[in-house]
Structure 1
């Protein structure tokens, strides 16, 4: 729910929001960036709650924010109310992710941890594909987008109640973190981690905000109602992203530097294809599939890479990586919207593709560190 409808829903329905509220491309970028600012703040709040009270409260807080935010979107009468709803809904992703990874670190051994973290990250694909399928069903039946967001809110409430029951009895963190732990995370060995996270955040946020709307503006794909184009895009995004369940095995086979190069190039190619290919089934599915792989595999890599670098600070180090991602999320769409209005959508997409492409070129073996960073303090957070 958090990384499916709550986080992706705005991009999925941008064409409908444009029509309902007369939103410009720049405004689309700023609303999307505001939503990702909610993600950024949710990460900080989740880390604070996690350290003091354990994972249950931040997860439930995130699902409450998702439910309430989706209700606001469903009832929105103008762009400002819409933006508030998007902000709250997207913040849920920040609340939910780190606490689940903290639970993995507590309960799963080192050998199985990359696979477990990949599973958590990649399970997002189910939510994205389901959101796309719901949007497609509504297009084919002629129902309003408000109905879809109402259904999202109901589903989120059900998930909230389910997690409330499932997480009962989960205890608080048993250890404090070492003094100046945030400062310890600025170790030089972690800089490539943060660079990858930032590039991934900017690239994925621009794609989420603008790709579907651009393809709709181009007339959609042959044989499908134009309004159904975003649904097909996000279904493909989610389904192909499930292949990232094999991220741990891919890392073992290729090594981290090569894996990073490939997934960054996949992200670059995905965004560039939106600009250069005419709207076709093959082009849409290829672009969305590459983006799904890029997002899900990078998410999994950030989880086990940060855990490997800072094994004594598992949740805090992952939060730091996600804050770098969220910074890219916030900056990317806002800048892209302005660039699109000034120079055109094609220039904006191609410019965005340069960021992960340059990151891939910089991923030399000698700059990608995996050895644990030595930190003084308790054995665990």
Structure 2
């Protein structure tokens, strides 16, 4: 683990990235959805207001993705990661003490922006400091930090429902954890140098390569699938009466806990890819996402349906995000962070469009039809994917 008394970059950067994504993608990006019932009760929030605040969070994530490469190019990976974790800390503290809906919205926006700021720079840091053979494992570790964050957020919500804990205490705890992650990342990233100066416009143009189209298509399908699941699955399961033997109000917490626990499989993404190859792994991940959505429609109100659906979605999200990280880095080794940002922007586009379309379709055709219809997107992606599409060779000579 150590070389001459200094922790190896593989371990320090993997741990720092794990903590950053645990905060940014756990309570930072998904916390609002977990606590909607409490926000409704405290602030008399209407459904349209809930939708507005949730959309503001997605907007924060999207803006964070655009700001991160600018800060990365100017000051190195330390800057966007620390700015993101600072935004998460302040945003969660704002939510914890919010007196009204506008202040909650500001806090959610800040907290969710951390997801766009604090993840992609690790592609650059790991590309510079970690040996080539260890990069997939390191990037998988960073991506899978999300699982722990989601599990902890789900446990906090479960304790709140069953033990009468105030949601404000939960969000204050999230803010304290974010501050600790800020300190750990400051220690780990301060020795990672700024990338050489380059023309950002040229870099974005370089990413418009036909070899990257499958990467972006997978990203879009993944973003659409995951956003619709996060936005509607737990509510649909609550409407179905939850699961036997547990308070109906605990259903969202249970969904997130199993989602996060099964998502820990993301830590094995690099090894599984080496065993079966990238094309087969992508097919299985897309099918897992499709089956997860289908189970929400056909098996609500059962423990088997809840655990299987949440678990498959957790595996789909965590392992696919890890694949996007190392696949983009292999396709564009000279642009590790920019290429990952491009893949996540494709996912973010799906995250913004998917729930809006699904909400309209649900009114017309019903929630069950929407889940089954959405499942067709990742299923079709799996069927259309060819081995030649999932190439890992550099898109351009380096």
Residue from 74, 77, 81 that aligns with 1:52: 74
Match in the other structure for 1:193: 215
Are residue 33 (structure 1) and residue 55 (structure 2) matched?
yes
Match in the other structure for 1:347: 369
**Separation in 2 of the partners of 1:321 and 1:98?**
10
Match in the other structure for 2:91: 69
**Separation in 2 of the partners of 1:171 and 1:364?**
39
Larger mean Cα displacement after TM superposition, 33-42 or 72-81: 72-81
**Separation in 2 of the partners of 1:277 and 1:269?**
11
Are residue 284 (structure 1) and residue 306 (structure 2) matched?
yes
**Distance change >3 Å, CA 38–CA 294, structure 1 → 2:** same
Q: Which has the higher contact order (CA 8 A, sep 6+)?
A: 1
Would the aligned equivalents of 2:90 and 2:111 in 1 still touch at CA under 8 Å? yes
**Separation in 2 of the partners of 1:288 and 1:369?**
30
**Distance change >3 Å, CA 195–CA 238, structure 1 → 2:** same
Which aligned pairs between 1:134-149 and structure 2 lie closer than 5 A?
A: 134-149=156-171
Match in the other structure for 1:335: 357
Is there any run of 5+ residues in structure 1 with no aligned partner, and where?
Answer: none
**Distance change >3 Å, CA 319–CA 209, structure 1 → 2:** same
Aligned-partner SS, 1:186: coil
TM-score by length of 1: 0.92
Match in the other structure for 2:3: none
Matched residue count: 376
The C-alpha deviation readout for 1:236-277, integer Å capped at 9, x for no partner, is 111111112111121112221111111011111111211211
**Separation in 2 of the partners of 1:46 and 1:274?**
35
Are residue 111 (structure 1) and residue 133 (structure 2) matched?
yes
Are residue 238 (structure 1) and residue 250 (structure 2) matched?
no
Aligned-partner SS, 1:153: helix
Shift, 1:309, TM fit: 0.8
**Separation in 2 of the partners of 1:2 and 1:353?**
27
**Distance change >3 Å, CA 87–CA 336, structure 1 → 2:** farther
Larger mean Cα displacement after TM superposition, 261-270 or 350-359: 350-359
Match in the other structure for 2:15: none
Would the aligned equivalents of 1:222 and 1:281 in 2 still touch at CA under 8 Å? yes
**Separation in 1 of the partners of 2:48 and 2:388?**
40
Shift, 1:160, TM fit: 1.9
Residue from 327, 344, 356 that aligns with 1:305: 327
**Distance change >3 Å, CA 261–CA 24, structure 1 → 2:** farther
Aligned-partner SS, 1:216: helix
**Separation in 1 of the partners of 2:202 and 2:317?**
31
Aligned-partner SS, 2:140: helix
Aligned-partner SS, 1:206: helix
Aligned-partner SS, 1:123: helix
Residue from 224, 227, 230 that aligns with 1:205: 227
Would the aligned equivalents of 1:311 and 1:372 in 2 still touch at CA under 8 Å? yes
**Distance change >3 Å, CA 179–CA 80, structure 1 → 2:** closer
Would the aligned equivalents of 1:30 and 1:333 in 2 still touch at CA under 8 Å? no
Match in the other structure for 2:391: 369
Aligned-partner SS, 1:224: coil
**Separation in 2 of the partners of 1:115 and 1:35?**
29
Are residue 127 (structure 1) and residue 149 (structure 2) matched?
yes
Aligned-partner SS, 1:118: helix
**Separation in 1 of the partners of 2:393 and 2:179?**
42
